[in-house]
Amino acid sequence: MKKVALKSGALLLSLALAASTAHAADPAFPKGPTSPVTLEVWSWVPGLDKTVTAFTKQYPNIKIKILNLGGGPATYTKLQTAIKAGSGAPDVAQVEYGFLPAFADTGGLADLSKYGANDYKKYFVPWTWGQVSPDGQAVYAIPQDTGPFAMVYRDDILKKYNIAVPKTWAEYAKAAATVKTKSNGGVKLGNFYSTFAPWFMALAWADGGQFFQRQGDSWVQTLNNSSSKKVLNYWNDLIKKGEVGTLAGFSADYWNAAGAGKLATNMEAAWGPGGYAGSLGTKSAGLWRVAPIPQWTAGSSVKSGNWGGSSNVVTTQSKNPEAATLFALWLNLSSNAITADWNNGGLFPASDAGLALPALAVTSKNPSKFFGGQNISSVYAQASRGVNVNFQWAPWFPFVNDNFSKQMDKMLKGQLTPDQALDAWQAESLAYAKQNGFTVK
């Protein structure tokens, strides 16, 4: 196994935390530097330049230079290249949870516990801190936004076919059959995203599925765990019956079907509703609603998984790691920043207090306005608190993510059964991890 080699900075920040045990949206932040410094920040958050204006007013000695590389593979490749080269990395960078271990494994991320980050653990939803501090000691990043799962649905379609909002997966399957019959196959109840591993994993996560577990200096990978098999067999059955679709996520075909009433529901992360409002505009506006995802056991408390979400890392190349840590904390705990990021980019907060911010409950603006004026953030807040804390990602997840699409394509073509597809996903990903020096079984 490649071991994380973290490099610490010089001095600990002098942290003056509030004496109160109440977790306010604005805790006492560390003091800023006494001399001018400039921090380079790589982030794809819309309107971040406006958000940081409030930060520089509060900390006039810190200048923020934002570079938006668009996110995704291009950003990650540039960051990995800079870390390996030992130069060219920013002070702060945005990294999704699933890809964080791959960067931590390079040794290019600062351990923020050296700068008092663990003192702020209590301000975040517990499962999010587990994403950035898997061993409970070192802190590789500060949680930024999250993507807990809920179900979006067309209220008009369910009412048309006299279907109650499904609360269990058994009810969902029954509703899928009803919609197909009553619409003569013209409407599908849901959609399976075959090219997004995190979407599928979030559904298994909600059932308690574990895909990676670190054990000391080694790993255990179980992509074909029992929850994975339960979820994939369930969805494949609906696909074969023609009751749910397999339209590519975020494609024109998907948005056209959703807007035209050809699709009644989907499982979406907290950032998803913003996409509906932005992509569909006035088409089907006001007809959508949000509910908890169906549960496997009737009457159980809401359990959910997470798709996406990101964090802010501080690289070891930063010459001002204390100031960089301060910025990362402020960006994700300041009510001003959380509100701005929600209004400008639909970022669903990782902080516990952020879930209760008034801005998230405004129903006269999108995305809630698009969803019939429903306070959708309250549904997603409930989902966030129902996400299993004990969930880990592995450093080789980028390969796992890509390989998922390959196996799902074979399953959809009838070349593999769901169990065979999961077994192949497990075997090929395991072989890749071992070939790249990881001790894993």
CATH number assigned to the domain comprising residue 92: 3.40.190.10
At a CB cut-off of 8 Å and minimum separation 6, what does 219 contact?
Answer: 1, 212, 213, 394, 433, 438, 439, 440, 441
pLDDT of 182 > 90? The answer is yes
pLDDT of 132 > 80? The answer is yes
pTM of the model: 0.90
* pLDDT on residue 258: 98
> Is residue 168 domain-resident?
no
Count Cβ atoms below 10 Å from residue 71 Cβ, excluding itself. 16
Helix H, strand E, coil C: the string for the chain is CCCCCCCCCCCCCCCCCCCCCCCCCCCCCCCCCCCCEEEEEECCCCCHHHHHHHHHHHCCCEEEEEECCCCHHHHHHHHHHHHHHCCCCCCEEEEEHHHHHHHHCCCCECCHHHHCHHHHHHHECHHHHHHHCCCCCCCCCEEEEEEEEEEEEEHHHHHHCCCCCCCEHHHHHHHHHHHHHHCCCCCECEECCCCCHHHHHHHHHHCCCCCEEEECCEEEECCCCHHHHHHHHHHHHHHHCCCEECCCCCCHHHHHHHHCCCECEEEEECCHHHHHHHHHCCCCCCCEEEECCCECCCCCCCCECEEEEEEEEEECCCCCHHHHHHHHHHHHHCHHHHHHHHHHHCCEECECHHHHCHHHHCCCCCCCCCCCCCCHHHHHHHHHCCECCCCCCCCCHHHHHHHHHHHHHHHHCCCCCHHHHHHHHHHHHHHHHHHCCCCEC
pLDDT of 5 > 80? The answer is no
Residue 244: phi and psi, rounded to 5, are: -135, 155
Distance CA 246, CA 381 (A): 28
Tell me: cis bond preceding 126? Omega within 30 of 0 counts.
no
* pLDDT on residue 72: 82
* pLDDT on residue 390: 87
pLDDT of 149 > 50? The answer is yes
* pLDDT on residue 22: 35
Mean pLDDT, residues 190-213 taken together: 97
* pLDDT on residue 431: 98
pLDDT of 73 > 70? The answer is yes
> Is residue 401 domain-resident?
no
The pLDDT tens digits of the residues spanning 264-310 come to: 999 999 999 999 999 999 999 999 999 999 999 999 999 999 999 99
> 319 versus 23: which is more confidently predicted?
319
* pLDDT on residue 12: 36
Residue numbers of the domain that contains 69 = 37-146+307-372
Residue 255: phi and psi, rounded to 5, are: -65, -35
pLDDT of 369 > 90? The answer is yes
* pLDDT on residue 9: 35
Comparing 69-83, 185-199, 298-312, the range with the smallest average pLDDT is: 69-83
> Is residue 193 domain-resident?
no
Closest residue by Cα to residue 9 from 320, 330, 312, 313: 320
pLDDT of 20 > 50? The answer is no
> Is residue 418 domain-resident?
no
> Is residue 266 domain-resident?
no
* pLDDT on residue 118: 97
pLDDT of 3 > 70? The answer is no
> Is residue 436 domain-resident?
no
Mean pLDDT, residues 95-112 taken together: 94
β-strand 288-291 against 190-191: which pairing, if any?
unpaired
Confidence of residue 17 (pLDDT cuts 50, 70, 90): very low
Q: Report the number of distinct structural domains present in the chain.
A: 1
The average confidence (pLDDT) of the chain is 92
Residues 419/224, Cβ–Cβ less than 8 Å: yes
> 97 versus 14: which is more confidently predicted?
97
pLDDT of 361 > 70? The answer is yes
> Is residue 345 domain-resident?
yes
Mean pLDDT, residues 375-403 taken together: 95
> Is residue 140 domain-resident?
yes
Mean pLDDT, residues 8-15 taken together: 35
The pLDDT tens digits of the residues spanning 216-270 come to: 889 999 999 999 999 999 999 999 999 999 999 999 999 999 999 999 999 999 9
Packed helices 48-58 and 321-333: angle between N→C axes, nearest 10 degrees: 110
* pLDDT on residue 16: 34
Comparing 7-11, 89-93, 371-375, the range with the smallest average pLDDT is: 7-11
